[in-house]
């Protein structure tokens, strides 16, 4: 039998809806027991402790209007609520916070219904669907529904002038449909950049939402707070309705990156997720605007902290630098060992390593990223991309892309972390223009104390520092076959961090007893460089990620 609470809740819900929706067809069908012998239209009932309860309520596309009924909160076992494509107004009732089992709330396409969540309803296990699929004809991956084209034709076919207009519209829409095949089975995303399609499992794949332009403008207060600029365009700070701070990248008209890079980032980040990669929350493609939305990284970029503008520059101690390097390395290792066909970032640099509240390093900006090239890839798909000072010289000269190109760039980042210097600076003496070439001279002569950032001198364990220095030197070998993999680098940095953390505890105990300064050690650069690694025919070494140690 159906529980009395459920029956009362549905009767109350029906009465509240009838106030503004008299004669509504679905409401006229709601009579008797809501679950037995068969559920009312729009309801899903399940047995709970020998009582029938409502777990899903689907009121989508029922031509309903008025405020969203507070009586829905009486359906205490409700797991999914869908009220999309109606004319509900006002805001989400505060009483919805009592729906503790609610895991999905779909409210899109209610023009005058606020998407702001009441206190208590913002929680990690609740998925909010606020996009309006009916209005997504302006942007790939979806094309205009055929019904809209028919509607246009039928409504303007009144005269000869109108007929001419209809013909023009018809051919325009037909052309658009030919260029953009129907793809309404989202989340199947056509991956034009990677020349393949990927069907995403909604239970395991990241959820990347498509936002309205108005939604973005509200979140950023009409782009009020500028926090940075890059090759894609300006970056603004914003806040989503449920309170999450975000960084909003808006492509500028003069951007050095185009639609290809925009699509690339959306497609790639719709398939991958890792704690050391900055996730994509959503995007907007409306009125010729291309916008990407990410979580706001409160501590800026690694570049800002090391040698950025004075206002952003803050001293990083050696253990923190080492931890950031390890986080970024793990992110790259995840890309390089990804599910059968590795991903190459192609623009690894300190400004693309962002720092969250906990100073955890996360790799960002995947506009240039690619799957490792395979036989038959076009020359255009293998064009050289990257940033001066970080670019792998072998990749630049041969245009042969591999994961070792990322390894070289990461080696430059390690040198930045060690020295606190930018990778390229023509305002320094000629022999110091290139960070890599300048540092190698001192490293090979075992004079690393002379290149270490003055702000951390005397604050590091020599063994840990040497391990990072050796890793940086190996990464920046001119020939890719001599470079280690990111798996090797992660292991080396893990060891260095263990040494540094244990040394810090040991030194604190020594200093508390009036002990001496840290010791220095003489090291020979490890002989790994004399034996090249076996080149990979697929430009990518697929290596299993190391087990936790």
Is the bond preceding 187 in cis, omega lying within 30 degrees of 0?
A: yes
246 vs 266: CA distance, rounded Å: 16
Active site residue 347: yes
Smallest CA-to-CA distance from 403 within 414, 392, 412 is with: 392
Output the CA torsion sign for 165, 168, 170, 173: negative
Collapsed DSSP state (helix, strand, coil) of residue 111? coil
DSSP structural state of residue 434: B
Beta bridge partners of 291: 250, 284
Q: Is 349 annotated as a binding residue?
A: no
218 in helix, strand or coil? helix
Give the torsion through C-alpha atoms of 323, 326, 327, 329, to 10 deg: 160
- CB distance 452 to 461 below 8 Å: no
Dihedral over alpha carbons 417, 423, 426, 431 (to 10 degrees): 80
H helices present in 55-212, as ranges: 146-155, 160-179
Query: Does an H or E element contain 265, and which?
Result: helix 259-269
Helix (H, G, I), strand (E, B) or coil at 200: coil
Identify any residues that bridge with 233 across adjacent strands, giving them in sequence order.
251
CB within 8 A of 351, min separation 6: which ones? 230, 301, 302, 303, 304
3-state secondary structure 362-393: EECCCCCCEECCCCCCCCHHHCCCCCCCCCCH
Dihedrals φ, ψ of 247, to 5°?
Answer: -110, 125
* 3-class secondary-structure state, position 134: helix
d(CA 12, CA 18): 10
Q: Going by DSSP bridges, is the β-strand pair 65-67/370-371 parallel, antiparallel, or unpaired?
A: unpaired
In the numeric block, the tokens 């000869």 are attached to: 160
DSSP β-ladder status, 361-363 and 112-113: unpaired
How far is residue 431's CA from residue 360's CA, in Å, rounded to a whole number?
A: 34
DSSP state of 98: G
Phi, psi (deg, nearest 5) at residue 235:
-120, 125
Largest CA distance in the chain: 98
Q: Taking the CA of residue 285 as centre, how many other CA atoms within 13 Å lie in the half-sphere pointing to its CB?
A: 16
Q: What is the DSSP letter of 424?
A: B
Q: Of these residues, 263, 347, 365, 406, which one is catalytic? A: 347
CA 454 – CA 137 distance, rounded (Å): 56
Binding residues for ATP: 249
Catalytic residues: 347
């Amino acid at each position: 039998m159906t529980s009395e609470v459920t029956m009362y809740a549905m009767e109350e819900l029906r009465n509240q809806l009838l106030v503004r929706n008299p004669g509504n067809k679905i409401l006229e069908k709601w009579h008797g027991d809501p679950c037995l012998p068969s559920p009312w239209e729009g309801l899903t009932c399940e047995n709970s402790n020998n009582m029938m309860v409502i777990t899903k309520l689907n009121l989508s596309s029922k031509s309903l209007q008025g405020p969203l009924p507070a009586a829905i909160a009486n359906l205490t076992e409700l797991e999914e609520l869908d009220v999309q494509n109606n004319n509900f107004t006002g805001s989400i009732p505060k009483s919805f916070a009592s729906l503790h089992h609610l895991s999905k709330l779909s409210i899109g396409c209610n023009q005058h219904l606020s998407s702001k969540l009441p206190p208590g309803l913002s929680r990690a296990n609740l998925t909010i669907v606020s996009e309006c699929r009916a209005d997504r004809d302006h942007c790939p991956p979806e094309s205009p529904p055929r019904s809209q084209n028919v509607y246009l034709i039928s409504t303007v076919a009144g005269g000869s002038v109108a007929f001419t207009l209809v013909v023009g519209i018809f051919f325009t829409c037909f052309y658009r449909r030919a260029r953009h095949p129907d793809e309404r089975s989202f989340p199947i995303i056509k991956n034009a950049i990677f020349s393949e399609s990927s069907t995403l499992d909604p239970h395991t794949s990241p959820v990347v939402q498509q936002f309205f332009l108005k939604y973005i403008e509200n979140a950023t207060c009409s782009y009020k707070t500028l926090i940075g600029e890059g090759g894609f365009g300006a970056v603004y700070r914003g806040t989503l309705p449920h309170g999450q701070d975000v960084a909003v990248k808006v492509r500028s008209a003069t951007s050095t990156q185009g639609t290809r890079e925009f699509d690339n980032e959306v497609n790639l980040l719709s398939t991958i997720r890792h704690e050391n990669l900055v996730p994509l929350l959503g995007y907007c493609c409306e009125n010729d605007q291309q916008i990407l939305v990410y979580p706001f990284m409160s501590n800026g970029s690694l570049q800002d902290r090391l040698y950025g503008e004075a206002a952003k520059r803050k001293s990083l101690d050696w253990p923190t630098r080492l931890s950031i390097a390890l986080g970024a390395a793990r992110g790259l290792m995840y890309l390089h060992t990804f599910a059968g066909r590795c991903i190459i970032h192609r623009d690894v640099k300190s400004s693309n390593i962002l720092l969250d509240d906990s100073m955890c390093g996360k790799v960002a900006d995947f506009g240039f990223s690619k799957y490792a090239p395979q036989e038959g890839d076009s020359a255009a798909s293998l064009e050289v991309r990257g940033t001066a000072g970080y670019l792998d010289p072998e990749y630049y000269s041969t245009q042969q892309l591999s994961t070792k190109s990322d390894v070289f760039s990461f080696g430059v980042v390690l040198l930045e972390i060690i020295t606190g210097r930018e990778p390229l600076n023509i305002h320094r003496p000629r022999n110091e223009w290139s960070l890599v070439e300048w540092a190698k001279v001192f490293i090979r002569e075992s004079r690393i104390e002379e290149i270490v950032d003055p702000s951390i001198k005397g604050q590091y364990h020599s063994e840990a520092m040497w391990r990072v220095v050796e890793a940086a030197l190996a990464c920046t070998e001119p020939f890719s076959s001599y470079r280690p993999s990111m798996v090797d680098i992660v292991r080396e940095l893990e060891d260095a961090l263990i040494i540094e953390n244990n040394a810090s505890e040991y030194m604190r105990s020594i200093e508390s007893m009036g002990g001496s300064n840290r010791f220095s050690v003489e090291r020979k650069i490890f002989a790994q460089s004399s034996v090249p690694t076996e080149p990979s025919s697929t430009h990518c070494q697929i290596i299993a990620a190391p087990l936790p140690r």
